[in-house]
Amino acid sequence: MFAAQKDSGADVSLTEAATTTLRIALVGNPNCGKSTLFNRLTGLRQRTGNFPGVTVERLSGFINLGDRPVELVDLPGTYSLHPTSLDERVVLDALLGLGDGRRPDAIVYVADATKLDKHLLLLTQVMDLGIPVLLALNFADEFAKRGEVLETPRLSEELGIRVLSISARTGEGQRWLETEMARLVKDLDTPTEHFFDPSELELEVAQLLEPSLPELTVYGRILAAHHARSSTTPAALRITRAWATDSPAFDSLRLQVRETMQRYDRFLPALSAAKRAARTDVSYSDRIDDVVTHPVAGPLIFFAILFLVFTAIFSWSAIPADMIEGLFAGAGAWIRTVLPEGYLADFLVDGLLAGLGGVAVFVPPIAILFLLLSILEEVGYMARAVFLFDRLMQRFGLNGRSLVALTSSGACAIPAIMSTRTIANPKERLITILVSPLISCSARIPVYAILIGFAVPAVTVWGIFNAQALAFMGIYLISIAAALISALVFKYILKSTERSYLMMELPTYRTPIWRNVFLTVWTKTKAFLFGAGKIILGISMVLWVLATFGPSEQMASAEQQAIERVAAADAPNLDLEDAVAEARLEASYAGHLGKLIEPAIKPLGYDWRIGIALVTSFAAREVFVGTIATLYAIGSADDNDALITERLSEARRSDGTKVYTMATAVSLILFYLFAMQCMSTLAVTWRETGTWLWPAVQTIYMTGLAYGFAFLAYQTLS
Amino acid sequence: MNEVPLQSDSAVQSDIPALKLAARQRGVVCGFADDCFAHKYLCMGVLPGSCVEMIRKAAGETCYFKIDGRTLAVRKEEAACLLLKRIAERM
């Protein structure tokens, strides 16, 4: 009887396992080639978040093992399960199931075969969590080249888990790995070897936590006891409530050190039994570093690279951007010839197509920036830049790692803010998040491009420099200065007692793996196009509706008045159309909105039309150009984007003075330079800080700066 | 290696912080002057007995070490806590 019951029970769990998708996590130290392996295994089947322009906490992708779909999760690299940064915290939460409540069913542990004496510490910790694991030794090709010998069967025997050699770079051993992974999820054997004997006290603590964490092993509960306090997930809070960690006998740090040393003492002999080393020095990397990290040459090289990156963005993206614009203009013209004149054609061309085009023109600069940044990262250069500028960044309350975020901000603040997770100190991380949006992102480029013509004449100064190009550079320098000065102010306002770390491995220089570069560009650009793009497109369409419709009586009377006015002046037919359209726009809902905020922005030199553009820009800055184009295009019969500048220069206030003077243009440029006008960025800040306080602080201080500087500029220049 | 010489209270004359190494000078880790940094070092595989070579310093004394064949960037404060026994210069 009993046996029969047991069997049916096993059957049920088997069918359950077959229907629910198993989850395999990739775990390993930083620079172990984990992400390269992930890219190789999943390819384009990677899943990013559904939030505007944001990837989720972890990259995941579905693969087929045997005939079974498995979810593969790429966790951030970490040295140990005792976290010191948010990135490392994510790994612990995922492995203990404190995040979404689900632990991985199996783990592929990736280690650099050439640095096994360092990379096995984390493996022994993972093994003690009781999750089935296999060890993939990466860089097998390099290892062999260095003449070292590792007996994988022997290591496998010592560790009690499957061990295999692969090369994520060349794909060597991939088939074998997939077969082994299929076997891992089929058998689900938990590791039996242990590398740590907990002390009496730790065992006691584990016992205490058993009721609240029944599914974890003793070691899992000990980890929870060490680190639950520093986590904010609901599960962690439950543990903290269940167990007061104030007990003075539980000296968390001492116990962690004891555990770490015990692990080394046990796995190092196991490793040396399987390894015969032949030490050689990798010297090409050292020789590159002699130049690249040189105290004088190093910073010069960094700025030269930065200059090249931005030059490339401007010059390379011009042609594809023009082509995209031409494509959309052509499509618009075609729709107008096919469809009868009316609201449908107007909506498709001025609403939908204008919006789509506005999004699409950003794809080339964003893709190019991500391309170049990911190459620098892949090669191993970014870590050197962090090393060079760490102390300088610290003076401003930042961290060397902030440099990566601030540089990425030149493309988009969203990935920049997400990259701050590697900063261990919460205060430095927060300041980096707060000031990153001040660095001028690619979305501001078209705004500057339109306005700079009004602010600076296109003349040559000092013989060789284009005055407008110099002004462009000036704008970027102002934005960098603004970010650093704001950081300095926050450094003195915010209080923190937390430790700050740099302690970072400088990876060996390698030629970039193009698959990784391509996938980074692809996923990031896709996230922008379909995430942030949706918002921009939506706003363009809403704007078209607001600018086309209005209270019907007012619209009718405005139209009538315009017709009478033109008739009285006896003007030609074309002017009549323009005058009617302008009157209708003024009477529309958008016009009312613009008029409503006009008193507040008048001291900055803006009229109600710019008011509309400012309001819509709060969704995303790049909307400005689209809005201005829509607002001034709606009136005119011809729909040529190249005429925007010309049309703007003819725009006049009701008293007949020109709207776009030098003073207005400078004031607008400064406004866009400083103002927090990006909902997606605010959403990411909220996600990364967990409270609405910091998005609010960002909005207030940045927009305050914008208003102040725009006001000063307009009042002194006009 | 059961007892880790964490706090080197009675620092012997020859214990010097890694920060004080000149370029290309080497030493062997014999302890740490700070518990928090110590654990971080241990997790990264810098153990008592590891061989440390100073490669160079950047602005603000950020140090670039080669430790057991691996390159590490370390802050001034972090380098000050890493205690070494000097070993002879490389010929």
Average pLDDT of A501-514? 88
Please give the share of chain A, as a percent, with pLDDT higher than 90: 26
Residues in B touching A422 (Cβ below 8 Å): none
> Cβ B35–A80 below 8 Å, yes or no?
no
Nearest to A212, CA basis, from A230, A193, A235: A235
Q: Which helix (H) or strand (E) holds A477?
A: helix A467-493
Average pLDDT of A400-427? 84
- Choosing among B2, B4, B43, B57, which should be mutated to test the A contact, i.e. which has the most A CBs within 10 A? B43
Confidence band of A431 (pLDDT split at 50, 70, 90): very high
Average pLDDT of A199-222? 88
> Cβ B43–A294 below 8 Å, yes or no?
no
Confidence band of A708 (pLDDT split at 50, 70, 90): very high
> Cβ A499–B75 below 8 Å, yes or no?
no
Residues in A touching B76 (Cβ below 8 Å): 391
Confidence band of A278 (pLDDT split at 50, 70, 90): low
How many alpha carbons lie under 13 Å from residue A509 in its C-beta half-sphere?
Answer: 14
Please give the share of chain A, as a percent, with pLDDT higher than 70: 86
Host domain of residue B63: 17-87
C-alpha pair distances (Å), A263 with each of A26, A80, A437, A609, A698? 21, 11, 44, 68, 45
Closest Cβ opposite residue A261 in set B1, B55, B60: B1
Whether B38 maps to a domain, the answer reads yes
Residues in B touching A83 (Cβ below 8 Å): none
Confidence band of B14 (pLDDT split at 50, 70, 90): low
Confidence band of A585 (pLDDT split at 50, 70, 90): confident
Q: Specify the higher pLDDT residue, A249 or A505.
A: A505
Q: Specify the higher pLDDT residue, B36 or A578.
A: B36
Average pLDDT, chain A: 82
Q: Specify the higher pLDDT residue, A281 or A97.
A: A97
Alpha carbon A468 to its chain centroid, in Å, reads 31
**According to the model, what pLDDT value does residue A550 have?**
84
Within 10 Å of residue A410's Cβ, how many Cβ atoms? 23
Residues in B touching A223 (Cβ below 8 Å): none
Give CA–CA dist A510/A518, Å, rounded: 16
Interaxial angle between packed helices A252-274 and A218-227, expressed in degrees from 0 to 180 and rounded to the nearest 10 = 140
Taking the CA of residue B73 and the nearest CA in chain A, the distance in Å comes to: 5
> Cβ A506–B64 below 8 Å, yes or no?
yes
> Cβ A506–B40 below 8 Å, yes or no?
no
Q: In the numeric block, which tokens belong to residue A34?
A: 């984990």
> Cβ A391–B59 below 8 Å, yes or no?
yes
Whether B57 maps to a domain, the answer reads yes
**According to the model, what pLDDT value does residue B42 have?**
93
**According to the model, what pLDDT value does residue A259 have?**
94
DSSP state letter for A421: G
Taking the CA of residue A208 and the nearest CA in chain B, the distance in Å comes to: 26
Taking the CA of residue A388 and the nearest CA in chain B, the distance in Å comes to: 6
> Cβ B6–A80 below 8 Å, yes or no?
no
Cα nearest neighbour of B63 on chain A: A387
**According to the model, what pLDDT value does residue A50 have?**
32
**According to the model, what pLDDT value does residue A307 have?**
81
Is A527 a residue whose pLDDT tops 90? no
Burial class (CB in 10 A: 0-12, 13-18, 19+), A464: exposed
Q: In the numeric block, which tokens belong to residue A79?
A: 């040295």
> Cβ B37–A289 below 8 Å, yes or no?
no
**According to the model, what pLDDT value does residue A241 have?**
65
Average pLDDT of A130-158? 87
Q: Specify the higher pLDDT residue, A57 or A296.
A: A296
B23-76 pLDDT, tens digit per residue, is 889 999 999 998 889 999 999 999 999 999 999 888 888 999 999 888 899 999
Whether B72 maps to a domain, the answer reads yes
Residues in A touching B56 (Cβ below 8 Å): 293-295
Confidence band of A696 (pLDDT split at 50, 70, 90): very high
Average pLDDT of A114-135? 93
Interaxial angle between packed helices A381-395 and A402-409, expressed in degrees from 0 to 180 and rounded to the nearest 10 = 100
Closest Cβ opposite residue A387 in set B37, B43, B64: B64
Closest Cβ opposite residue A502 in set B36, B71, B73: B73
Is A522 a residue whose pLDDT tops 70? yes
Which amino acid, B28? Answer: V
Closest Cβ opposite residue B35 in set A253, A388, A500: A253
How many alpha carbons lie under 13 Å from residue A80 in its C-beta half-sphere?
Answer: 22
**According to the model, what pLDDT value does residue A51 have?**
30
Q: Specify the higher pLDDT residue, A240 or A7.
A: A240
- One DSSP character per residue, A32-75 reads SSHHHHHHHHHTT-EE--SBTTB--SSEEEEEEETTEEEEEEEP
Taking the CA of residue B68 and the nearest CA in chain A, the distance in Å comes to: 9
Is A279 a residue whose pLDDT tops 60? no
**According to the model, what pLDDT value does residue B89 have?**
58
Whether B86 has its CB under 8 Å from any CB of chain A: the answer is: no
Domains identified in chain B, total number: 1
Confidence band of A616 (pLDDT split at 50, 70, 90): confident
Average pLDDT of A473-498? 90
Within 10 Å of residue A458's Cβ, how many Cβ atoms? 10
Detail the DSSP E strand segments found in A219-262: none
Average pLDDT of A460-474? 80
Cα nearest neighbour of B45 on chain A: A118
**According to the model, what pLDDT value does residue B2 have?**
44
Which residues between 33 and 72 in chain B have a beta carbon less than 8 angstroms from any beta carbon of chain A? 35-45, 47, 55-62, 64, 66, 68-72
A256-268 pLDDT, tens digit per residue, is 999 999 999 999 8
> Cβ A506–B73 below 8 Å, yes or no?
yes
Residues in B touching A265 (Cβ below 8 Å): 1-2
- Choosing among B71, B77, B78, B82, which should be mutated to test the A contact, i.e. which has the most A CBs within 10 A? B71
Alpha carbon A186 to its chain centroid, in Å, reads 36
Those residues whose C-beta lies under 8 Å from the C-beta of residue A52, and which sit 6 or more positions away, are A531, A532, A534, A535, A679, A680, A683
Cα nearest neighbour of B72 on chain A: A505
Q: Specify the higher pLDDT residue, A79 or A573.
A: A79
> Cβ A506–B4 below 8 Å, yes or no?
no
Whether B24 has its CB under 8 Å from any CB of chain A: the answer is: no
> Cβ B75–A390 below 8 Å, yes or no?
yes
Pairing of strands A59-65, B26-32: unpaired
> Cβ A391–B70 below 8 Å, yes or no?
no
Taking the CA of residue A31 and the nearest CA in chain B, the distance in Å comes to: 12
3-state secondary structure at position A222: helix
Whether B8 maps to a domain, the answer reads no
C-alpha pair distances (Å), A8 with each of A5, A14, A203, A588? 5, 10, 36, 71
Confidence band of A233 (pLDDT split at 50, 70, 90): low
Pairing of strands A22-28, A106-112: parallel
Confidence band of A571 (pLDDT split at 50, 70, 90): low
Is B11 a residue whose pLDDT tops 90? no
Cα nearest neighbour of B34 on chain A: A253
3-state secondary structure at position A671: helix
* Length of chain B measured in residues: 91
> Cβ A504–B72 below 8 Å, yes or no?
yes
Confidence band of A603 (pLDDT split at 50, 70, 90): very high
Confidence band of A637 (pLDDT split at 50, 70, 90): very low
Whether B11 maps to a domain, the answer reads no
Whether B4 maps to a domain, the answer reads no
Those residues whose C-beta lies under 8 Å from the C-beta of residue A315, and which sit 6 or more positions away, are none
Closest Cβ opposite residue B4 in set A261, A281, A389: A261
Give CA–CA dist A397/A380, Å, rounded: 25
Architecture of domain A20-196+266-276 in this structure: 3-Layer(aba) Sandwich (3.40)
Closest Cβ opposite residue A387 in set B38, B41, B73: B73
Are A156 and A134 in contact by the 8 Å Cβ rule? The answer is no
Look up the pTM and report it: 0.80
Those residues whose C-beta lies under 8 Å from the C-beta of residue A514, and which sit 6 or more positions away, are none
Q: Specify the higher pLDDT residue, A210 or A570.
A: A210
Average pLDDT of A30-50? 79
Q: What is the CATH number of the domain that holds B60?
A: 2.30.30.90
Is A189 a residue whose pLDDT tops 80? yes
Residues in A touching B70 (Cβ below 8 Å): 115, 118, 505
Give CA–CA dist A133/B11, Å, rounded: 43
> Cβ B56–A293 below 8 Å, yes or no?
yes
Is A646 a residue whose pLDDT tops 80? no
Q: Specify the higher pLDDT residue, A536 or A211.
A: A211
Whether B10 maps to a domain, the answer reads no
Confidence band of A643 (pLDDT split at 50, 70, 90): low
Confidence band of A471 (pLDDT split at 50, 70, 90): confident
Closest Cβ opposite residue A84 in set B40, B58, B66: B40
Number of A–B residue contacts, CB under 8 Å: 121
Average pLDDT of A286-302? 90
Whether B3 maps to a domain, the answer reads no
Confidence band of A280 (pLDDT split at 50, 70, 90): low
Residues in A touching B58 (Cβ below 8 Å): 293, 295, 298, 387-388, 390-391
Taking the CA of residue A290 and the nearest CA in chain B, the distance in Å comes to: 9
DSSP state letter for A419: G
Instruction: Calculate ∠ Cα A356-A679-A443, nearest 5°.
Output: 50
> Cβ A80–B43 below 8 Å, yes or no?
yes
Taking the CA of residue B58 and the nearest CA in chain A, the distance in Å comes to: 6
Average pLDDT of A268-275? 82
> Cβ A257–B4 below 8 Å, yes or no?
yes
Give CA–CA dist A327/A321, Å, rounded: 10
> Cβ A118–B39 below 8 Å, yes or no?
no
Average pLDDT of A652-673? 84
Is A438 a residue whose pLDDT tops 90? yes
Average pLDDT of A542-549? 82
Residues in B touching A258 (Cβ below 8 Å): 4
Is A7 a residue whose pLDDT tops 60? no
3-state secondary structure at position B82: strand
Is A531 a residue whose pLDDT tops 90? no
In A573-602, which positions are buried (b, 16+ CB within 10 angstroms) versus exposed (e)? Answer: eeebeebbbbbbbbbbbbbbbbeebbeebe
- Would the CA dihedral through A535, A537, A538, A539 be positive or negative? positive
What torsion, rounded to 10 degrees, do the Cα atoms A176, A181, A184, A187 define?
-80
